[in-house]
Structure 1
Amino acid sequence: MLSVIPDLHADPQRLLDTLARIGRYNRIALLGDLIDAGKNVRHPSDRAVLSMARELVDNGRAVAIMGNHELNAILFHRLGPGGPLRERSTKNLKQHWSFVADFGIGTTAALEWTNWFLDTLPLWREIDGLRLVHAYWSERLIAIVAARRPDGYLREEDLPEIAEGRSEFATAVKLLVSGPEFPLPGNGRITDNSGHRRSEIRLAWWKSAPATWKDAALSVARPEEIPDGWVPPEYLQGLETGSLPIVFGHYKIAGEPCLLDATAACLDFPARPCFLTWRGGEKIEAEDVITV
């Protein structure tokens, strides 16, 4: 069986507890965002999480995909003609502090680990009839990336273009790891889970039925800020009919882990570790999402 582990965010205890629950024999898939401690991580260590993940991969027991934090780190530690490919601003340093605490900025160690991200973490995988992506599965976007990178692995020469963010290829890469965001109606603003004020909102893109803003909103720290009314239908694209089941993380769902959709399962529940055990089939069952 395949056990899928969502965002760890530099929490070695979360990984150890999850591995203990999984047992010794299941194969493992890691959904990205291995790095950059979240606010609820009591004893963060990017070094410990990455070392354990690398050992699992090197031993052939695990595979992994890239999250937005790995992509951000790759850009943050590399220099282009005008400076770092990702701005080393106060905001970005705050998000990336635990990795910097372990490895520094632009050091040999930081570059070695971000090289490992490039070499080891594709943007998507498909295993035993299960599709894995960090934030957003889109056949159209995957086709755009696959036209240049059929295996989903980015290359060093892609990075300046991704950092600039203007091309179709760069947009596709960033949406796969970060998901789409949509403008709020009027002059609406929401506060995200990092405390930033935004005029755009993440929505449950996998919903196909009409939904209100309150039903579809994701990653909102203050639900009372979510507007009333219905989401424009074109915002919710829904899953393709007959598509394979998809598993992803990224969205920081509040509450206890649960199955949100039988064909598209978000596993990122920061308050409680969980994983998904995939036995094959056409859909994901509620009992496949296992709380640690």
Structure 2
Amino acid sequence: MLLDPTRSYDLIGDVHGCARALERLLSGLGYRRQGGVWRHPQRMVLFLGDILDRGPHIREAMHLVHDMVVNGQALCLLGNHEWYALGWTTPGLPGSGREFAREHSSRNERLIRETLAQFEDYPRDWHDFLDWMYELPLFLDGGRFRLVHACWDAELIARLREQHPDGRIDRAFVQQAGDPRSFAAHCFQRLLRGIDMPLPRGLTLTSSDGFTRSVFRTKFWESDPQTYGDIVFQPDALPDEVANLPLSNAQKAALLRYGEDEPMLFVGHYWCNGTPAPLRPNLACLDYSAVRRGKLVAYRLDQETRLDPNKFFWVEVKRLEADT
């Protein structure tokens, strides 16, 4: 899918059902609701995925983003939570022994529970949105800038383009992802969830969202990491005794390195906190934990080729229940 490199864009991170905050953000960016659709006379929104799950107004957020996309006012990536919805509702491959592409475990159900509850009285909406999610690409490449929900893996994206040139996948691809050894599963894991590294010595950590994990999220841009602490990229810190452990040569080799000379890259996914700012001159995360009473963040992209710290724009999400 091609982007117009001469156009100005507003890139927006993970919404997670915070529809009221999204409306405030769009209003602050100069968009106005006309004919039921948020519009700007010169600009266009690029959403980084994860519109659904967790928040108080999931259905409203999906309608808002969907209506902008179909009216040419926005593009939207597939995030890992959109993939979860597709996997949850798509039957597994015949003969695979899986009823659905995504296992209906209690852990997985917990992630999608709020979405299913909010659509319970709107089955037609839910069906239509599931169909629409297949139109959302896994990546966007604008030449001087790139977008992916979690991690840009150039080799993997090149292979994906051989099957799906515009980055849009189909039902068969989702079904194949039910096999964790498949290419489809690797694409979803790497591009939409990033690179996880196992914690050493069989350790587990319980994160602030209540999930117990045996892995942690890693950076994919460090040029010379030496310890676990050098590569951790998540809001929950590693214990000091783990953070100070040296990485093995095999662990270092398994990491990606997004170079400083690469085009600007924008991701979501990682639950950042603090004041929005570039991670590097060519790399920004726009997920600042909106649904955890953090910030819903945008970056105002014009013709620059390196990030401008002054072009981040956000609204605070202090009262999640009302989302105001």
TM-score w.r.t. structure 1 length? 0.90
Contact 2:265 2:284 in 1 (8 A): yes
Aligned partners of 1:273 and 1:62: how far apart in 2? 17
Q: Please state how far the C-alpha of 1:223 moved relative to its aligned partner.
A: 4.2
Aligned partners of 2:147 and 2:192: how far apart in 1? 11
SS of equivalent residue, structure 1 residue 186: helix
% identity of equivalent residues: 26
Contact 1:2 1:27 in 2 (8 A): yes
Q: Which moved more, 1:242-251 or 1:169-178?
A: 169-178
Contact 1:14 1:273 in 2 (8 A): yes
Structure 2 stretches of 5 or more lacking a match? Answer: 1-7, 32-39, 316-324
Q: Please state how far the C-alpha of 1:220 moved relative to its aligned partner.
A: 4.6
Q: 1:285 to 1:136 in 2, by over 3 A?
A: same
Q: Please state how far the C-alpha of 1:127 moved relative to its aligned partner.
A: 2.8
Q: 1:256 to 1:223 in 2, by over 3 A?
A: farther
| Correspondence 1:1-292 to 2 at 5 A | 1-24=8-31, 25=40, 26-37=43-54, 41=55, 44-80=56-92, 81=94, 82-104=98-120, 107-119=123-135, 121-127=136-142, 129-221=144-236, 223-224=238-239, 226-232=242-248, 233-240=252-259, 242-270=261-289, 271-292=294-315
Contact 1:45 1:98 in 2 (8 A): no
Aligned partners of 1:75 and 1:247: how far apart in 2? 25
Q: 1:101 to 1:169 in 2, by over 3 A?
A: closer
SS of equivalent residue, structure 2 residue 202: coil
Higher RCO structure (Cα 8 Å, ≥6 apart): 2
Contact 1:33 1:68 in 2 (8 A): yes
Contact 1:144 1:169 in 2 (8 A): no
Partner of 2:322: none
> What do residues 194-236 of structure 1 show as CA deviations (whole Å, max 9, x unaligned)?
3222222111112223254234312253543653234443244
Contact 1:208 1:237 in 2 (8 A): no
Aligned partners of 2:82 and 2:276: how far apart in 1? 24
Q: Please state how far the C-alpha of 1:106 moved relative to its aligned partner.
A: 11
Contact 1:11 1:45 in 2 (8 A): yes
Q: Please state how far the C-alpha of 1:99 moved relative to its aligned partner.
A: 1.2
SS of equivalent residue, structure 1 residue 35: coil
- Report how many residues are paired: 286
TM-score w.r.t. structure 2 length? 0.81
Letter in 1 for 2:84: N
Aligned partners of 2:196 and 2:121: how far apart in 1? 29
Q: 1:168 to 1:128 in 2, by over 3 A?
A: closer
